[in-house]
Amino acid sequence: MKPGTVSWARRVTGIAFALSFSMSTPAAEPKLTYPPARHAEQVDDYHGEKIADPFRWLEDDNSDETKAWVTAQNQVAGAFLDAIPARSKIRDRLTKLWNYERFGVPFLQGGRLFYTRNSGLQNQRVLYTADARDAEPRVLLDPNVLSPDGTVALAGYSVSEDGTLLAYGLSRAGSDWEDWHVRDVVSGTARPDLLEWVKFSNAAWKKDGSGFFYSRYAAPRAGEEKKGVNEFQKLYFHKLGTKQAEDTLIYERRDHPDWGFGATVTDDGRYLVIHVSKGTDPKNLIFYKDLASPGSRVIDLIADFRAAFSFIDNDGPLLFFETDLDAPRSRVIGIDLRQPAPAQWQEIIPQAAESLQGVSFVSGQFICRYLRDAHSVVRTLEWSAKLSRVLPKWEVSLPGLGTAEGFAGQRDDTETFYSFTSFTAPGSIYRLDLETGKSTVFREPRVDFSPAAYVTRQVFIHSKDGTRVPMFITHRRGLALDGSAPALLYGYGGFNVSLTPTFSVTDLVWMEMGGVFAMPNLRGGGEYGTPWHEAGILARKQNVFDDFIAAAEWLVENKYTTRERLAIQGGSNGGLLVGACMTQRPELFGAALPAVGVLDMLRFHKFTIGWAWKSDYGSAENADDFRILRAYSPLHNLRPGVRYPATLITTGDHDDRVVPAHSFKFAARLQECQPPDGPPVLIRIETKAGHGSGKPMNKVIDEKADQLSFLARIFGLKGP
C-alpha cells in the first residue's frame, strides 16, 4: 500500500463489531467488543492429562469460519489503530527515514561484481552486477517488476564460477517455498530452467557451469502448501537446459524423514561436501562425493551427530571445518580425506576467549569472526601449506562496537567486502585489502538523523539463578533516569542465534519519541558458544524467560522506566518469549508485541517445519517434555480474569514457518481472558505476507507504524 491510501484494515468487511473511544488521557482505553470465537468440544489426552483445545478450528486457515474471524479481527484492530492521532506522523517519519540507499555485501565472481541494493522505498532489493569492481553497475534482476504489489522477493542466488550464469530463487507472498530460475548474466535474458518446491536450500554450481546441486521436497498435497509437514528432503543435481523431472538424485534417506541436505562445491571443484542436518539442532553430519570420479558414491566423513561442523574450504584433500567439538566456543580443524579417522584430525585454529561465529578462507587467509560480549571482533590468520599451520596476521580495525558481516571470496582474491552496523550506524560497506589489511569505505548510506544525539551502553545484569547476562541499552543523549521514559525490551533467546548491535529505523523512531531501546543477550542464543545455547533449551528453557524478566526488572530498578511504561517485543521464537513472560509476569509489563510467535507449545511440531524445533523445545509426545512445555506454553497459561498488558499480536496469512494458527488461537483465548476493563488485545493479520523474509517495504512500514502507534496510544506519547 502506497502512502495516503486507505489503511489495510479498513478495506475488509464482514462480522460487525462495537467500538467506542475516549482519547482524553493515556489511562482511558477504548472499550472493545471482540469478534466472537466459537468454543469447540476438542479435548486431547496428553499422557493422562486432558487438555481442552476449543479453538482448534482456527488451525484451518482455508475455512470460511476462520476467514470471517480474521476479517473481523482486522476490522477491530484497524479501527483502533486508525484512530490514534500520532499514527500518520509516525508513519511519515518511518517513511522518510527508510528512504535511504541500502546495500548488500558485494562479492566478485569471474571478475564481475555482484551485490543487492534498495534505493530507499523499493518494495524489494534489486540485484546488480558490474563487469569490474569500479565499473558502472547495471540491473541484473529486479523483483519489483515481477508483481504489482511487490510480494515477489529474491530469496537466494548463486553465480557460476565464470560469472556468466545466475541461479536464483523467488519467494511469493512471504512463503518459504521458492521457485528457482536461471539467467544469463551477460545478456540478462532468462533461461527456460524452472525448479519448484524448493525450500531451505542453496544452489551449488559445478565449476564447469553445467548445472548446480540443490535440495527440494516432494510437491505437497493440494490445500497443504502452507501447513503440511515438510519431511524427506532430497539432494539433486540440475543440468542446465533440462526439465526438473530429469534432475539426478544425488542423495536421500528414506529412513530419516527429518534429515536435510545442503551442498557446497569446493573452490577447486574437486569435491561435493554435503551438510546433513536434523531439524534445527546445531549438531550435524558431513558427507562428501568426489566429483572428479564419474559415478563415485557419497562417502560418510562424519557419521554421528556429536557436534557442529561447518565446511570452510579445502587445500587439496585437506578439508577445513569450523566445529564446536571439544571446543564450546568453536575452533577450526583439518580433516585429510586420505586419513579421515578422528585420531588424525589436525587443529588449525584453537579455541579463543571469544565465541567463533564464522570463518571464510580468502587469499590464503582464514578470516575469523568472533563475538566478544555480543559485538564483533575480526581476525585474519595466514595458512601455510608448507608448514601445515596458520600464522597470525592482523585484527581488522572496525569502526566501533557493532556487527561485522561478510568477508566472502575465493582463495585467489586479494580483497573482500564486509558490512558494519550498530544501533546508531546504518550498514556501511567496506572493502578489505587482504595484502595490507586496510579497510576503506565502499558504500555508505545517508540517513536523516544525528548519531551523536544517541548513546549506547552495555550493562551486565544477573538472572534469577545468578547468571551474568549482557544487555545493550540505547537512547537519546541526556536521558533523565527518573523512570519517566517508556522502554522497549526486545529479545529472542533460542536456536543458537546471537543478537548483536544493528541499525533499525523502527528503533530510531521509538527513541525519537523519547523511548529507551534495550536488548539483552539471553541464554539459548549463541553469544557465548555451545554452553550458552544449551543453557536455554529443553528442560532449561525457563532460564530464557528468567533472563528476560531479570532484564525488565533491572530497567525498572535503575529508573530507565516503570512497569506501566515497559513494553516487550519479539518475533518467532521471540514471540514465544513475549508470550511466556507476559503470562508468567503480567504485572511487570505495560504492553506486549508478540510477532509470528510459537505460542501453542503442544502442537507446534504438527505443521510445516515445526518438528525441526524439537531440538530446542522437545515434544509433547514425550511425557517429560510435555510437563515442561505445558508449564510455559503461552496459549495454555492464560487465565480468565487476569489483567494482561496491552497486546498487539502480528502475523501473516502466508506464514508457512510458524503457521498463523498460533497467533489466532492465542488472540482468541487472550481476548476472552482479559477483564472487560482491561487493556486492549488486538491481532493484526497481514495479507499476502509470511514469516517476515521478503515482506514488501510498504507492508513493513505499515506494520511498524501500527506497532509504534499502539505503544504511543498505550503510553500517551505524541509521536516523533
Give the catalytic positions in this structure: 572, 655, 691
For residues 1-7, average pLDDT: 26
Buried b (16+ CB within 10 A) or exposed e, 519-548: bbbbbbbbbbbbebbbbbbeeebbbbbbbb
Measured CA to CA, the distance from residue 254 to residue 268 in angstroms comes to 31
Mean pLDDT of 664-682: 97
655 pLDDT higher than 90: no
On whether both 420 and 466 belong to a single domain, the answer is: no
Query: Could you tell me if 89 and 719 are in contact, meaning their C-beta atoms sit under 8 angstroms apart?
Result: yes
Same domain, 614 and 705: yes
Q: Compute the residue count for the chain.
A: 720
Q: pLDDT value at position 29?
A: 54
Regarding whether 694 and 603 lie in a shared domain, the answer is yes
C-alpha distance from residue 348 to each of 196, 271, 322, 366, 416 (Å):
40, 21, 10, 10, 22
626 & 488 share domain: yes
pTM of the full structure:
0.93
pLDDT over threshold 50, residue 76: yes
Cell output for 370: 568472533
Dmax (CA) for the chain in angstroms is 78
CA distance 505 to 572: 20
Is residue 461 one of the residues assigned to a domain? yes
Q: How big is the chain by its Cα radius of gyration, in Å? A: 25
Q: What is the mean pLDDT of residues 581-601?
A: 98
> Does 456 lie in the same domain as 435?
no
In 549-639, which ranges are E strands?
566-571, 591-595
Write phi, then psi, for 281 (nearest 5 degrees): -65, 130
In a domain, 319, yes or no: no
In this structure, the dihedral spanned by the alpha carbons of residues 332, 337, 341 and 342, taken in order and rounded to 10 degrees, is 10
Number of structural domains (the chain) is: 2
Residue 512 lies in a domain: yes
Section 590-618 average pLDDT = 97
Element (DSSP H or E) covering residue 490: strand 487-490
In a domain, 147, yes or no: no
Measured CA to CA, the distance from residue 697 to residue 684 in angstroms comes to 17
CA atoms lying within 13 Å on the CB side of residue 32: 26
Q: Are 346 and 392 in contact (CB under 8 A)?
A: no
User: Could you tell me which residues are beta bridge partners of residue 20?
Assistant: 31
Q: Which of 509, 451, 423, 426 minimizes the C-alpha distance to 102?
A: 426
Q: Do 436 and 556 share a domain, yes or no?
A: no
Question: Which residues have a Cβ under 8 Å from the Cβ of 464 and sit 6 or more positions away?
Answer: 546, 549, 550
Provide the pLDDT confidence category of residue 3 given band limits of 50, 70 and 90.
very low
Class of residue 164 by CB neighbours under 10 A (exposed 0-12, middle 13-18, buried 19+): middle
C-alpha cell at 183: 539467467
The Cα–Cα gap between 158 and 214 comes to 11
- Domain assignment present for residue 110? The answer is no
Residue 360 falls within a domain, yes or no?
yes
Please provide the DSSP assignment of 167-191 as one string: EEEEEETT-S-EEEEEEETTT-PEE
Q: How far is CA 55 from CA 10, 60, 66, 280, 668, in A?
A: 26, 10, 10, 28, 8
Give the number of other Cβ atoms within 10 Å of residue 692's Cβ. Answer: 19
- 87 Rama class: left (phi>0) / alpha (psi -120 to 50) / beta: alpha
The answer to whether 560 touches 516, Cβ cutoff 8 Å, is yes
Looking at every residue in the chain, the average pLDDT score rounds to: 93
Single residue among 423, 442, 461 that ends a domain in this structure? 442
Give the pairing type, strands 566-571 and 591-595.
parallel
Amino acid found at 313: D
Instruction: Tell me the three cell numbers of residue 412.
Output: 585467489
| Residue 381 sits in the same domain as residue 527 | no
Distance, in Å, from the CA atom of 498 to the CA atom of 375, rounded to the nearest integer, reads: 10
**How far is 314 from 286, CA to CA, in rounded Å?**
14
Give pLDDT tens digits for 277-300.
999 999 999 999 999 998 999 999
Percent above pLDDT 70 for the chain: 96
Quote the pLDDT of residue 25: 37
CA distance linking residue 230 with residue 211, whole number of Å: 26
Q: Tell me which residue of 362, 355, 351, 437 sits closest to 406, measured CA to CA.
A: 362
Domain-located, residue 300: no
Same-domain check for residues 417 and 462: no
Residue 515 has a pLDDT of 98
Cβ atoms within 10 Å of 301's Cβ, excluding its own: 19
Tens-place pLDDT, residues 157-216: 999 999 999 999 999 988 999 999 999 999 999 999 999 999 999 999 999 999 999 999
Q: Is the pLDDT of residue 19 over 50?
A: no
Q: What is the band of 13 on the pLDDT scale with cuts at 50, 70, 90? A: very low
How far the first Cα of the chain sits from its last, in Å, is 22
Angle (CA) 55-57-59 rounded to 5° is 95
436 with 479, same domain: the answer is no
Residue type, 241: G
Q: Which domain holds residue 415?
A: 355-442
Distances (CA, A) of 664 to 42, 205, 227, 351: 16, 42, 14, 45
Which residues 6+ apart lie within 8 Å of 274 measured at CB? 235, 250, 251, 261, 262, 263, 286, 287, 288, 289, 298
pLDDT tens string 95-143? 999 999 999 999 999 999 999 999 999 999 999 999 998 899 999 999 9
Is residue 293 within 8 Å of 313, Cβ to Cβ? Answer: no
CATH number at residue 651: 3.40.50.1820
Give the three-state DSSP class for 235: strand
Question: What percent of the chain shows pLDDT beyond 90?
Answer: 89
Please state which of the ranges 12-16, 89-93, 107-111, 348-352 shows the lowest mean pLDDT: 12-16
CA 645 to chain centre: 26
Distance separating alpha carbons of residues 373 and 517, to the nearest angstrom: 18
Residue 422 reports pLDDT greater than 90: yes
pLDDT at 15: 26
Task: State yes or no: pLDDT of 437 exceeds 90.
Answer: yes
Statement to judge: residues 522 and 429 lie in one domain: no
Please give the Cα distance from 61 to 720 (Å, whole number): 37
Q: What's at 371, amino acid-wise?
A: L
| pLDDT, tens only, 339-392 | 999 999 999 999 999 999 999 999 999 999 999 999 999 999 999 887 778 888
Grid coordinates belonging to 670: 487472550
User: How sure is the predictor about 14, in pLDDT bands with cuts at 50, 70 and 90?
Assistant: very low
**pLDDT at 517 exceeding the cut of 80:** yes
pLDDT at 585: 98
CA dihedral 554, 558, 560, 565 (to 10 degrees): 60
E-strand spans in 544-656? 566-571, 591-595, 646-652
What one-letter code names the amino acid at 142?
D
CA 150 vs CA 200, 354, 538, 684: distances in Å: 22, 41, 39, 20
Listed residues 420, 442, 464: the one ending a domain: 442
Q: What are phi and psi of 371, to 5 degrees?
A: -115, 125
Last residue of a domain, one of 419, 442, 465: 442
Please determine, for residue 5, whether its predicted confidence score (pLDDT) is greater than 50: no
pLDDT band at 30 (very low <50, low <70, confident <90, very high): low
Whether the CB-CB separation of 369 and 376 falls below 8 Å is answered with yes
238, burial (CB in 10 Å: exposed 0-12, middle 13-18, buried 19+): buried
Do 360 and 471 lie in one domain? The reply is no
Tell me, yes or no, whether 431 and 504 share the same domain: no
342 in a structural domain: no
C-alpha dist (Å) from residue 224 to 56, 61, 603, 663: 17, 10, 17, 19
